[in-house]
């Protein structure tokens, strides 16, 4: 598999530290509110990366944190007059519900900063001992210039950064950070302020800085060198640059061999973000659309491309997904008949072509996780199965086609092959079925006007019916 590595700006063959294993760390959300669908993009695309590597036989250790101590969490806790832990625990729970709806599998480990404080303190101490950090009045800073490779991920020159910062000298004074040795230095440990959560440390009570938590937790749950570190492209600088500086200065080994960054989800060509107010929460969007459609929409673009969000584009994703689901339903129905027929010679010939579609899918995914092309390969497979099957096909043949489709769509892309029918209540189902029975009776009595009227009513309710040899079948439109 080839991966575009932000560090080298090249597509490189993926070679893991340990053959057959992959350690992946993905920066997770700050939990002070419901997540928006921009936050869901890295969750969905890197969950798909994990699924694809597993399908290729890797044992994946997938670690993604929840940032549960942060100014925004504290601000919200103060507004609601509750403990900041209550806010973070509440929104971790809500975030996990959204992840489940989007079929994002739970990480192998979801570490939380507040539960890893002793390890944070250890890393800060190591950095101080090695001369990479220093303490002033209870704040510990990273001595940025002591780390040679600073700027290598974001391809920034340290002297350009310095001159940019010099203009901010006035701001630094205002923020109380003028005690730093150098404007480029960043915070590892912040001293306690009134009304904020804090922990004891050798430098006084305080809390860890945001960048530190990812360096500490990735080392603890994966090791000194990660195979892949991932997140949204807004994290390249300064967050990931600072993570590299901390980790490589402390551990003395390469922090991550590959860096993957997803492009932004945009609205009217602007990044969707909380601060701009142009966001939709995953919760709200899932009221309007089947979450499967949202997942499919996210994967309809390669992860590095910007992706515009609009009702029109989601509708077109829904139509694309419907083509796949209808094709799957046809195969499922034939397979379920269990007609005991032997696979015919003609069917054998068609089955021999099946690996070509899988190879196309794999080639797309091998090319820097090109899910857009992988979905095109699934569309080709659907055209092939639609053309190659009919009511007379053997069930065994249909089952083999279905199983292949299931692996690519459900197992790897995380797109279920069935619609979320389960959401329909028993009462609703009973109403639909009694209307269908009424229509069947009307047809028998040759009252076709009434039969058509019932069909139209069902369509208004979003239910499509189909007359087949086995009787009337129905599905959500």
Residue 365 interacting entry, from ligand AMP, Zn ion, none, C-beta within 5 to 8 Å by type: none
Q: Are 255 and 225 contacting, i.e. CB atoms less than 8 angstroms apart?
A: yes
Closer to Zn ion at the Cβ: 214 or 267?
214
CB-closest chain residue to ligand AMP: 232
DSSP state letter for 409: I
Closer to Zn ion at the Cβ: 237 or 379?
237
Q: Exactly one of 109, 251, 254, 273 binds ligand AMP (CB under 6 A); which one? A: 273
Q: Specify the pairing of strand 265-267 against strand 307-308.
A: parallel
Least distance to ligand AMP from the beta carbon of 283, Å? 15
Q: Exactly one of 1, 22, 27, 226 binds ligand AMP (CB under 6 A); which one? A: 27
User: What residues have CB less than 8 Å from 462, skipping those under 6 apart?
Assistant: 476, 477
Closer to ligand AMP at the Cβ: 235 or 282?
235
DSSP state letter for 252: S
Contact residues toward Zn ion (CB under 5 A) are 27, 214
Report the alpha-carbon distance of residue 40 to residue 98 in Å, rounded. Answer: 9
Region 35-64 residues binding ligand AMP, contact defined as CB under 6 A? 38-39, 41-42
Q: Please tell me the count of residues contacting ligand AMP according to CB under 6 A.
A: 17
The dihedral formed by the CA atoms of 69, 75, 77 and 83, expressed in degrees to the nearest 10: 50
Judge residue 460's burial from the number of C-beta atoms within 10 Å of its C-beta, 0-12 exposed, 13-18 middle, 19 or more buried: exposed
Closer to ligand AMP at the Cβ: 204 or 263?
263
CA distances from 365 to 320, 380, 418 (A): 19, 15, 23
User: What residues have CB less than 8 Å from 392, skipping those under 6 apart?
Assistant: none
Residue 214 interacting entry, from Zn ion, ligand AMP, none, C-beta within 5 to 8 Å by type: Zn ion
Residue 419 interacting entry, from ligand AMP, Zn ion, none, C-beta within 5 to 8 Å by type: none
Region 226-265 residues binding ligand AMP, contact defined as CB under 6 A? 231-232, 234-235, 262, 264-265
Least distance to ligand AMP from the beta carbon of 25, Å? 11
For 366, other C-beta atoms within 10 Å of its C-beta total 17
Least distance to ligand AMP from the beta carbon of 230, Å? 8
Residues forming the site for ligand AMP (CB under 6 A) = 27, 29-30, 38-39, 41-42, 231-232, 234-235, 262, 264-265, 271-273
């Amino acid at each position: 598999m080839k991966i575009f590595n932000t560090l080298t700006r090249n597509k490189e063959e993926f070679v893991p530290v340990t053959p057959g294993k992959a350690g992946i760390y993905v920066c997770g959300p700050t939990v002070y509110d419901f997540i928006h669908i921009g936050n869901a993009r890295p969750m969905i695309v890197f969950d798909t990366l994990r699924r694809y590597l597993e399908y290729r036989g890797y044992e994946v250790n997938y670690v993604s944190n929840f940032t549960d101590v942060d100014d925004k969490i504290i601000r919200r806790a103060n507004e609601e007059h509750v403990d900041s832990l209550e806010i973070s625990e509440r929104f971790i729970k809500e975030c996990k519900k959204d992840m489940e709806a989007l079929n994002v599998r739970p990480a192998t480990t979801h570490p939380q900063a507040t539960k890893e404080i002793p390890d944070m303190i250890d890393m800060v101490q190591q950095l101080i001992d090695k001369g990479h950090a220093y303490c002033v009045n209870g704040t510990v800073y990273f001595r940025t210039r002591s780390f040679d490779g600073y700027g290598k991920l974001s391809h920034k020159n340290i002297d350009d950064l310095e001159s940019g910062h010099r203009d901010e000298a006035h701001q630094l004074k205002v923020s109380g950070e003028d005690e730093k040795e150098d404007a480029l230095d960043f915070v590892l440990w912040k001293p306690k302020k009134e009304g904020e959560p804090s922990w004891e440390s050798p430098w006084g009570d305080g809390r860890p800085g945001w960048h530190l938590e990812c360096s500490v937790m990735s080392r603890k749950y994966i090791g000194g060198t990660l195979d892949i570190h991932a997140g949204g492209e807004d994290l390249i600088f300064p967050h990931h640059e600072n993570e590299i500086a901390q980790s490589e200065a402390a551990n003395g080994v390469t922090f991550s061999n590959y860096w993957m960054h997803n492009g932004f989800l945009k609205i009217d060509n602007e990044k969707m973000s909380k601060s701009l107010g142009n966001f939709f929460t995953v919760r709200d969007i899932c009221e309007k659309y089947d979450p499967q459609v949202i997942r499919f929409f996210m994967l309809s673009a390669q992860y590095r491309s910007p992706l515009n969000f609009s009702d029109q584009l989601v509708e077109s994703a829904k139509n694309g997904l419907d083509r796949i689901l209808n094709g799957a339903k046809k195969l499922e129905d034939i397979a379920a008949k269990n007609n005991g027929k032997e696979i015919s010679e003609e069917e054998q010939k068609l089955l021999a072509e099946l690996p070509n579609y899988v190879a196309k899918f794999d080639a797309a995914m091998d090319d820097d996780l090109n899910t857009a092309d992988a979905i095109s390969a699934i569309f080709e497979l659907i055209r092939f199965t639609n053309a190659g099957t009919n009511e007379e096909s053997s069930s065994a043949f249909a089952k083999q086609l279905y199983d292949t489709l299931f692996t690519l769509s459900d197992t790897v892309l995380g797109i279920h092959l069935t619609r979320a029918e389960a959401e329909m209540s028993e009462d609703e189902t009973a109403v639909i079925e009694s209307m269908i029975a009424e229509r069947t009776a009307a047809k028998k009595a040759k009252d076709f006007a009434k039969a058509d009227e019932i069909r139209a009513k069902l369509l208004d309710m979003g239910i499509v019916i189909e007359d087949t040899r086995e009787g009337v079948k129905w599905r959500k439109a």
